[in-house]
A = this chain, B = another copy of it.
Amino acid sequence: MTFSRAEYAARLEGVRAAMAEAELDALVVADPSNMHWLTGYDGWSFYVPQAAIVTGAGEPLLWLRPMDAPGAYLTAWIGRESVLTYSEELIQNPPRHAFDSLAADLAAHGLAAGRIGVEMDNYYFSAAAFEALKRGLPEARFADATGLVNWRRIVKSPAEIALMRKAGEITASMHRAVREGMAEGRPKHELVAEVQRAAVLGAPGAFGDYAAIQPIAPSGVEASASHITWNDRPMARGEATYFEISGCHRRYHCPVSRTYHLGEPPSILRRAEAAVIRALEDAMAAAKPGALCEDVAREVYASLARAGFEKASRTGYSIGLSYPPDWGERTMSLRIGDRTELKENMCLHLMPGLWTPEWGVAITESFVVTPQGGERLADIPQEIFVAA
């Protein structure tokens, strides 16, 4: 088990407190990150219906495809009797839906007329899943509990911070692979291959896991696009490439972006680089307990404005445990209007990047909130790396 029994018990207790506040009899957790955080269950099984169910007492239940029950026995702390399965016949076999079976299981647990929280806005709770639950439990009342568990995750435990620092060591190793491998004329996928190798080799004492987002690595004009991955085009002199990548250890992430350039960058990139690095410093200095998320965002915007650059969009978000397709925690954001108060041991990915139709500079940091301000979770040179 990755965490102690006591830590899992505390998590469950906190979720139950939030459920009580929302007047929920049960919570259906379809987000695999939340499932893992509550039970320890790990496996690439989230492409089929599955959920954790929290009721008012006892262990959480895991509700899985039959062939995934053995994976739960191996990875989750709950007892075998807490693992429920549905019929294999329900896999990708419309008009039947696996959530028809979950509805029956919930009714069998006395929840037919209960008030049930569901994560309405999650990749793993489709519109059809909700329709099946409503059809199968006509007497139940459903409440939107999107983010209920996620918001319980925002302050990390010491054990979680330790995993995130390990992920940060892996991220550093991945960026080292970029620095060592970038060369004029080299097809970019050959470089990404070395980055992926470093991602899994990991760091001393920490094997690398798959990240929830695969490498984002646009070059040249592609760098105006935010989420281009990679291709086989040879890297060219005069082109910037940015790598937005994260190491992952036991599902915890530490994303960090850096900008690379073949040959000396033009002066506008150097000006943007200085402005972004300064904005990182200014924002992290302000990221102390008691500051609001929007305060930190304002530091970014003001710092960039002093250097003559304008930015108004979201400039960061909470990070931690995650599964594909997003390594963000989907709770607080660094932007105007987010008045979440920072607390010690929250972790955020700070992104004061600048993009224009012609160029982009991405230099970001993942940090943990400390009484002295934001402390970097990975130690990676910030400057644009100039490859010969």
Complexed CA–CA distance, A209 and B122 (Å) = 26
Chain B residue with the shortest CB-CB distance to A250? B231
Across-interface contacts of A231 in B (CB, < 8 A): 207
A163: min CB distance to chain B, Å: 14
In the complex, the count of this chain's copies comes to 2
- Docked-complex contact A330 and B92, CB < 8 angstroms: yes
- Docked-complex contact B128 and A120, CB < 8 angstroms: yes
Complexed CA–CA distance, A202 and B202 (Å) = 22
- Docked-complex contact A200 and B210, CB < 8 angstroms: no
Complexed CA–CA distance, A94 and B194 (Å) = 39
Across-interface contacts of A200 in B (CB, < 8 A): 189-190, 192-193, 196, 230
Complexed CA–CA distance, A123 and B199 (Å) = 26
Across-interface contacts of A92 in B (CB, < 8 A): 317, 328, 330, 333
A283 at the binding interface (Cβ < 8 Å): no
A134: min CB distance to chain B, Å: 10
- Docked-complex contact A213 and B44, CB < 8 angstroms: yes
Task: From A5-13, A64-72, A296-304, give the one contacting chain B.
Answer: A64-72
Across-interface contacts of A17 in B (CB, < 8 A): none
Contact pick for A127, options B129, B207, B328, CB 8 Å: B129
- Docked-complex contact A121 and B97, CB < 8 angstroms: yes
What would be 14 A-B contacts, judged by CB atoms less than 8 Å apart?
A43-B225, A44-B325, A67-B226, A67-B355, A91-B333, A93-B333, A93-B337, A130-B130, A187-B207, A189-B200, A189-B201, A189-B207, A193-B201, A210-B214
Closest 7 CB pairs of A and B: A71-B225, A121-B128, A127-B130, A207-B232, A47-B326, A193-B200, A189-B207
